[in-house]
Structure 1
Amino acid sequence: MKSKTARVGALILTAATAAALLTGCSSGAGGSSGGTIQVETGFASGSDLLATFTKVTNAYEKSHPGVKFNLIPSSTNYEQDLKVKLASHDVPDMWWTHGWSRDRYSKFLEPLQDQSWNKDVNPQLDAAMRTSSGAIYALPLDTDVAGILYNKSVLTKAGVDPESLTSWSAFDAAAAKIKATGVTPIEVSGKANGPAGNLIDWIAPGKYTDAQLASLKAGTFAGSVYKPIVDQVESWRAAGYINPDYSSATQQDMSKALGAGQAAFIFQQNSVAADALTTSPDAQLGFLPVPSDTGKPYLIGGEMNAFGISKTSSHLTELKAFLKYLAQPANDSALAKAAGSAAGLTTSTSDLGALQTSYDQFVVKDKTRLVPYFDRVYLPNGMWNTLVTTTDSVITGQAQPAEAVNQVGTDFKSLYGQNK
């Protein structure tokens, strides 16, 4: 994904339900019926992001009586479901591009560089969202900057200093101390189509050298380089560091566990922290850079919460006006805050709440390097599901690391050839 990660919650629509909604409301290209505008939000039911987005949308509808939106929460397989809709010409009017507005969806999307907010897009997003000619295909609500989320109270109780976790050996030693206190070191959801794959996305950049990354991007997959990434996950499984309810845990379960101090670390976007604070408002949370075996620790970043408009929508005028409304500083600031991220536009205010201290330390003060999502840059289109399923098979003990690596290599070769 990134597709990342489609965020899912306890009351999520199933893929079949989402498809039925679109089929029932669709009038062909544009995916809308009458005055109702279909929006695939990509946000989980019950999440702070969906609640904030709904509130902003309701305010817009109130001031624009002739406009009505149908906000569709994320399905359990958002990325795959969206691919099916686009392939079958059942295209929603607007959708969450989850990191792929330019490289995957641009042929379906309306160019937006002529919009008034274009000049205010955070320049940190240019590398991921703009073409060489300056075209942009989505409004970024936030600037995704993420690390390893942690519960400060849990680490303090275990005698762990988060700033000391600059290597994987230090991280593993901390996990052992945390487990000894009766708390789950690493919380992962096996129900959502994202968290398992995110383990790979977070770890991988620090296992590859620059030369190895260049070779991978050029189409050469070396299993010997990829295997240490999977071995890292396997070592956590074997040590009992991953939550025992992994297979049944939802995205919301992850957030609740982090906020309640039942888990120490989560490899996920900052929105997980924002959701955790809705159930545990007094939780002390932070994020730290990801350790690296080939260089200094890093943060993960790029496009995440952004929305594009179908170029075939019959509501282009209304949707461009809606995006302009979302881009207003008050609205963009509120949405970025709900995501737990910096604002997507330079005219907006960044308020990361509980994560502000971490942001100021590692982004503003230390200027920690920001690396792109591994699968978006170095793997062929379509590999996300492979990352999720192969990592899942290792966590559940259904496959050995070598088997997972072989599957990744097979799919890499096949998809790389298809995408050339």
Structure 2
Amino acid sequence: MKKRITLLLVSLSATVMLAACGNGASGDGQTKLTLMSTATNKADQEIFKEVVSEFEEENPDIDIEDTYPTDGYEEMARVKMAANDMPDLFDTHGWSTTRYAEYTEDLSDMEWSENLDEAMADILTDETGKLNAYPINQALDGLTYNKNLLDEYGIEPPETFDEFMTALETVKEKSNGEVVPFWLGGSDKSQFGQYFDQFATPLLITSPSNSHGDALLDGSFDWSNYTYLPEKLEEMNDKGLLNKDAVTAQTTQVADLLAQNKVAFIMMSGSIGREVSELNPDVQLGTMPVPAIHEDDKPSWIGGERFTLAISKDSEYKEEAKKFIEYIAQPEVAKKFAEGTSLPDALTNVDADNYFADFYNQYEGTRIEPYFDRAYLPSGMWDPMGATGQELVSGAMTPEQVSKKMSEEYSRLVK
């Protein structure tokens, strides 16, 4: 009997309707696995599809239905969790030991776990020793920039937010407005979420004189301290330092713009470097840690999980799902994934040639901080973080209203 899957549909209403449908069977004996990933850009999705296809060729008795809901991933995952209908394989996107742990199979007995990078092991393993997911790669987030343009304009990668603002204004001036200083693909609200989330760490956490971590965790945080970030975003917009279509632009547009030397800074990393290089090998992108905001602080990477795969503890096909993870944990496949996504691998027995390797080496020793929302905010805050950015840049909100909305959402969700 052939096992039938519940199709993962981007439509939320369709997902709700299908959540109650169980796995069935039909007639050719082929097992079908569902896989849901947070991969958003074309290059990342292509490397996933390539690896899935190669696995299926070697294992013709297993078919993987892979889906990429992009901006709708979190909403879809919440619906699937509420219906206790998680995909066989799914991305924990930074929440392996908190939001998703009760839905995941323990992977600590798998052979590849012996080669798991210690830093990633600490993130993916809970206090009982349960290993919740396999890490396809590691995140080192900061700012990505067009090195050609910065070299041409004599701009050093900024180490402080003030230097970042000066760099943006220099790009605008020296390009006569022909180059977008800071590009955001804001039709996907996670682009604004990325801005707020990454810069919240130097604003509110890492500075010895401006550390609010305890207040964020115990609920006493004064959200007026957050207003600096929407103020600066509004300033960028008012000064023409953002793309004019920042609220409606799609992330798929930026590779072509970078390849044409029309953009200086972005908040995307990973496979964007390889994607631009394929379009124009003469353009080199660089990456750098998040600039400091306060005088007593230094730049830092924002890191942790990027793409992962967990196995649903309720999957009927755990052995087949483990077979896929065993396949992608092979050094040659793990290397392909790391190089294809242009992010560091997570296994000690893998030596990937990463697009940004020289830049990661340049900043070796720079501290790595966890994502702000994962460490200090209740589940569900990512959505308003991004949505308020859209409303701010569209003129529907003031910086003070952004902070007020964040405070209200925090109070609602922390309970």
TM-score by length of 2: 0.90
User: Which residue does 2:180 correspond to in 1?
Assistant: 184
**Pair 1:273-2:268 in alignment:** no
Return the offset for 1:22. 9.4
User: Which residue does 1:67 correspond to in 2?
Assistant: 62
Gaps of 5+ in 1: 1-12
Return the offset for 1:48. 1.8
| Residue type at the aligned position of 2:54 | A
**Conservation of the 8 A alpha-carbon contact between 2:135 and 2:305:** yes
**Pair 1:358-2:387 in alignment:** no
User: Which residue does 1:296 correspond to in 2?
Assistant: 298
Alignment of 1:160-309 (within 5 A): 160-162=155-157, 165-180=158-173, 181=175, 182-208=178-204, 209=207, 211-294=211-294, 295-309=297-311
TM-score by length of 1: 0.89
- Structure 1 residues 399 and 32: alpha-carbon distance in aligned structure 2, compared to 1, 3 A threshold: farther
**Conservation of the 8 A alpha-carbon contact between 2:47 and 2:341:** no
Distance 2:168 2:259 in 1: 18
| Residue type at the aligned position of 1:73 | Y
SS of alignment partner, residue 286 of structure 1: strand
**Conservation of the 8 A alpha-carbon contact between 2:43 and 2:275:** yes
Alignment of 1:40-55 (within 5 A): 40-44=36-40, 47-55=42-50
Return the offset for 1:248. 2.2
| Residue type at the aligned position of 2:396 | Q
**Conservation of the 8 A alpha-carbon contact between 2:186 and 2:390:** yes
SS of alignment partner, residue 110 of structure 1: coil
Return the offset for 1:25. 10
- Structure 1 residues 235 and 161: alpha-carbon distance in aligned structure 2, compared to 1, 3 A threshold: same
CA RMSD of aligned residues (A): 2.2
- Structure 1 residues 27 and 277: alpha-carbon distance in aligned structure 2, compared to 1, 3 A threshold: farther
Return the offset for 1:224. 2.5
SS of alignment partner, residue 207 of structure 1: helix
Return the offset for 1:32. 9.1
- Structure 1 residues 249 and 140: alpha-carbon distance in aligned structure 2, compared to 1, 3 A threshold: same
Distance 1:60 1:25 in 2: 27
| Residue type at the aligned position of 1:142 | N
**Conservation of the 8 A alpha-carbon contact between 1:221 and 1:412:** no
User: Which residue does 2:51 correspond to in 1?
Assistant: 56
Distance 1:75 1:194 in 2: 10
Return the offset for 1:236. 1.0
User: Which residue does 2:5 correspond to in 1?
Assistant: none
Q: Which has the higher Rg, Structure 1 or Structure 2?
A: 2
Larger mean CA deviation between 52-61 and 314-323 belongs to: 52-61
Return the offset for 1:220. 2.0
Return the offset for 1:331. 0.6
Gaps of 5+ in 2: 1-7
Q: 1:133-163 CA distances to partner (integer Å, 9 max, x unpaired)? A: 322111001111122100011112222122x
